[in-house]
Amino acid sequence: MGFNDIFKSSFLENITSVSVLDMLLTIVLSFGIGLFIFLVYKKTYRGVMYSSSFGTTLIAITMITSIVILAVTSNVVLSLGMVGALSIVRFRTAIKDPLDLVFLFWAIGAGIILAAGMIPLAIIGSVCIGLILLLFVNRKTNSQPYMVVLNCENHDVEVQARDFLAKNVTRSIVKSKSAVKGAVELNIEVRLKEDDTDFIAVLSEMPGVASAVIVSYNGDYMG
């Protein structure tokens, strides 16, 4: 059998067409699952500025993936071409939050499973993943870290301010310190006592303290 005989064989002629019902069912279900992923993302988002475009992207990725996999499973020639096409695609968008990567893989995985015909697995699996994310991501703990930005006039004021701060929080760790003539700036990571931030007002009124600011901190951003 020569090279031309391979392409003339019945192997490539045996192409299964996708019915209209299968197409509509795949599109509707992928949109529903993608919308569910988008709602979970919106509920669990903890960043500084919410991006609605990323949520819309999750819906589109779920639908596009399901359509592509549905076409690939019904056409051998198309599957070979799709592998070559996707191998040259490079995504350059930076993922700032590791949780965003979870949602991207979830959308892609749900689209693949749905187009493969495992509808119960796609639906039940998505519901379980969504409930787990809602449970763990939105769980509030008293050990949430905060950053206190403190500006003092000199070293003596700094010592007094740090002693006062240590008495009003469960833990305090100096993360950075910068000093210029007549000013000392401290960045201190603290753990609050029952989310009580009233001590900041008292701290800012201490003699020699120019300003005291407290912000929430998760290791990646402040807000």
- Given a cut of 60, whether residue 1 has pLDDT beyond it is no
Model pTM?
0.64
Each residue's pLDDT tens digit, 142-157: 567 888 888 888 888 8
Query: Count of CB atoms within 10 A of residue 52's CB?
Result: 9
CA 145/CA 222 separation, integer angstroms:
10
Helix axis angle, 52-74 relative to 98-115, nearest 10°? 30
- The whole-number pLDDT of residue 221 equals 46
> SS3 string of the chain?
CCHHHHHHCHHHHCCCCCCHHHHHHHHHHHHHHHHHHHHHHHHHCCCCCCCHHHHHHHHHHHHHHHHHHHHHHHCHHHHHHHHHHHCCCCCCCCCCCHHHHHHHHHHHHHHHHHHCCCHHHHHHHHHHHHHHHHHHHCCCCCCCEEEEEEEECCHHHHHHHHHHHHHHCCEEEEEEEEEECCEEEEEEEEECCCCCCCHHHHHHCCCCEEEEEEEEECCCCEC
Q: How far is Cα 30 from Cα 122, in angstroms, rounded to an integer?
A: 9
When mean pLDDT is compared over 42-51, 92-101, 103-112, the highest value belongs to 103-112
- Written as one letter, the residue type at 167 is K
Query: How far is residue 171's CA from residue 130's CA, in Å, rounded to a whole number?
Result: 34
The pLDDT score that the predictor gives to residue 11 is 46
Give the architecture-level CATH label for domain 145-216.
2-Layer Sandwich (3.30)
Task: Give per-residue pLDDT as tens, 25-64.
Answer: 989 999 999 999 999 998 888 766 677 888 888 999 999 8
pLDDT band at 83 (very low <50, low <70, confident <90, very high): low
Q: Give the integer Cα–Cα distance in Å for 43 and 39.
A: 6
Structural domain spans, the chain: 3-137, 145-216
CA atoms of 69 and 86, how far apart (whole Å): 12
